[in-house]
Amino acid sequence: MADDEKVKVDAIVVGGGPAGLSAAFTMARAGLEVILIERGEYAGAKNVGGLVYGAVLNRLIPNFWEQAPIERCVARRSLVFLNDDMHVGLDFGADEWTRPPFNNTFVVHRSQFDRWFSKQVEAAGANLIEGMVVEDLIYEETAGRKKAVGVKLRGDEAFYADVVVLADGANGLVTEKVAQTLGLKGGKTAQDYAVGVKEIIALPKATIEDRFQLDDGQGVALDFFGSPFKGLTGGGFLYTAKDSLHLGFAAKMETLAHAGVSPNEVLDGLKRHPVVRKYIRGGELQEYSAHLIPEGGFHAVPELTGDGVLIVGDAGGFVNMSLYKEGTNHAMDTGRLAGETVVAAKKAGRFDRAGLAGYEAAVRQSVAWKDLKRYRKVPEILEKSPNLLSLYPAKANRMIVDFFTVNGLPKGVAQRKAICSFLRGLPKWAFVRDVIRARGLM
């Protein structure tokens, strides 16, 4: 390609998920010339999720919920501990969650939501190129130092830019190659992945609202723990969309491999649990999906900048896998910060690592970083104390059910029996240690 035909812009973003879209939006709005490349037929075609956290997006697009394809706001949440034949739930909600900004928590269909977001990015002035695969970056070498100067597309095309923002997600092949080429350091620990699988189950809107006791437009997010997950490090979820349910689960890859169970079988087991079975009764499956989740947390976050590159979102491992399970907001936050960094670098005219160092500094001040840091021990806690997700909740469930079992015994006797049964077979010192450790999950 002759030099004068070379397409050169200010920044190229690889990947049209929340992180890449936020980066592109931020840069385009500041007047930079931006190309975003998405390998799916449309942004969202490869993306999976059910909840979107909107605090960052609300800063980028104020009151986005008035125009975005939101299925329902999350008016209620529920933590449900399942034994094979009993359950205990903790249900909570607030009226204020049903009013703007809706607790910044929304049920969405990510393929539709991300696609909508990509249209806003386009409207802000970025060029969206869909259905193209980035194979690798293009580098220029000066004095033995490589700097990214563009992207190589499958089929020989190339685009050039001062900076490439890597937002290729949990299954980010481009980020992997770049880290190797530029020698970007990994985190203190290797990234640790969970596999998530999910079904979309259609039900009439009125049925959903009756079954889950919801007003129009309001939804519920349930998290499941316990026996359907067979001691895996993971749990399930059910989110109500407008006229469908998201039902799925995620578990650490290693624990799945070790147990030799297939994700689809575990999901079917969850669907057969009496609690879940009643929720999905009569529903019709619309779609089955799978996705990786980077769960290594704080210690697995790699070096985020190199000469001419920035890493954002899942590609950088920005997922908080505590009880809160937030990822989309951190993706958007790191994307936004990367975008702002590039805007500043453009003014200064420097795109090497030092010129982009503002990104790592800004990330260290961000909510994403603070949350990942706060929950840095989560992977270790779950590995060292597997009983937190299996034995203890099972015993606690039994005890609570026993307390409320009416069987003709005097309450004093029944309660003593319930407590004795809880303590029987309980590794007491380990229990105390695990409970103290478990504070790190909240």
Instruction: Give me Rg for the CA atoms of the chain.
Output: 24
- Smallest distance, other proteins to C-beta of residue 209, A: 19
- Smallest distance, other proteins to C-beta of residue 278, A: 10
State both tokens at 361: 């500094």
Listed in sequence order, the residues at least 6 apart from 197 whose beta carbon sits closer than 8 Å to its beta carbon are: 248, 249, 250, 263, 264, 267, 288, 289, 290
Q: What angle do CA 246, 37, 114 make, to 5 degrees?
A: 25
- Smallest distance, other proteins to C-beta of residue 292, A: 5
Burial profile 407-426: b = 16 or more Cβ within 10 angstroms, e = fewer: eeeeeeebeebbeeebeeee
- Smallest distance, other proteins to C-beta of residue 197, A: 5
- Smallest distance, other proteins to C-beta of residue 356, A: 26
Nearer to other proteins, 121 or 253 (CB): 253
Nearer to other proteins, 249 or 392 (CB): 249
Residues in the chain: 442
- Smallest distance, other proteins to C-beta of residue 267, A: 8
Nearer to other proteins, 165 or 253 (CB): 253
- Smallest distance, other proteins to C-beta of residue 44, A: 6
Nearer to other proteins, 167 or 337 (CB): 167
Nearer to other proteins, 133 or 441 (CB): 133
- Smallest distance, other proteins to C-beta of residue 377, A: 23
Which single residue is written with the structure tokens 């992207």?
151
Nearer to other proteins, 177 or 377 (CB): 177
- Smallest distance, other proteins to C-beta of residue 31, A: 28
Question: How far, in Å, CA of 220 to CA of 383, rounded?
Answer: 29
Which residue type, as a one-letter code, is found at position 169? G
Nearer to other proteins, 238 or 337 (CB): 238
State both tokens at 253: 């890859």
Which single residue is written with the structure tokens 């409320």?
404
Which single residue is written with the structure tokens 């190339």?
158
State both tokens at 101: 């900004």
Tell me which residue of 192, 266, 207, 270 sits closest to 240, measured CA to CA.
Answer: 207
Which single residue is written with the structure tokens 């980066």?
23
Footprint of other proteins on this chain (CB under 8 A)?
A: 39-41, 44-49, 109-112, 114, 130-133, 154, 170-171, 173, 193, 195-197, 199-201, 244, 253, 256-257, 260-264, 268, 271-272, 277, 280-292
- Smallest distance, other proteins to C-beta of residue 220, A: 18
Nearer to other proteins, 141 or 156 (CB): 156
Q: Are 248 and 50 in contact (CB under 8 A)?
A: yes
Q: Which secondary structure element, helix H or strand E, spans residue 158, and what is its range?
A: strand 158-166
Nearer to other proteins, 199 or 402 (CB): 199
Count CB neighbours of 239 within 10 A.
25
Nearer to other proteins, 44 or 54 (CB): 44
Listed in sequence order, the residues at least 6 apart from 259 whose beta carbon sits closer than 8 Å to its beta carbon are: 230, 231, 232
Nearer to other proteins, 24 or 391 (CB): 24
Tell me which residue of 69, 70, 73, 9 sits closest to 35, measured CA to CA.
Answer: 9
Phi-psi region of 65 (alpha: psi -120 to 50; beta: other; left: phi over 0): alpha
Distance between the two ends of the chain, CA-based, in angstroms?
A: 55
- Smallest distance, other proteins to C-beta of residue 175, A: 12
Question: How far, in Å, CA of 156 to CA of 172, rounded?
Answer: 20
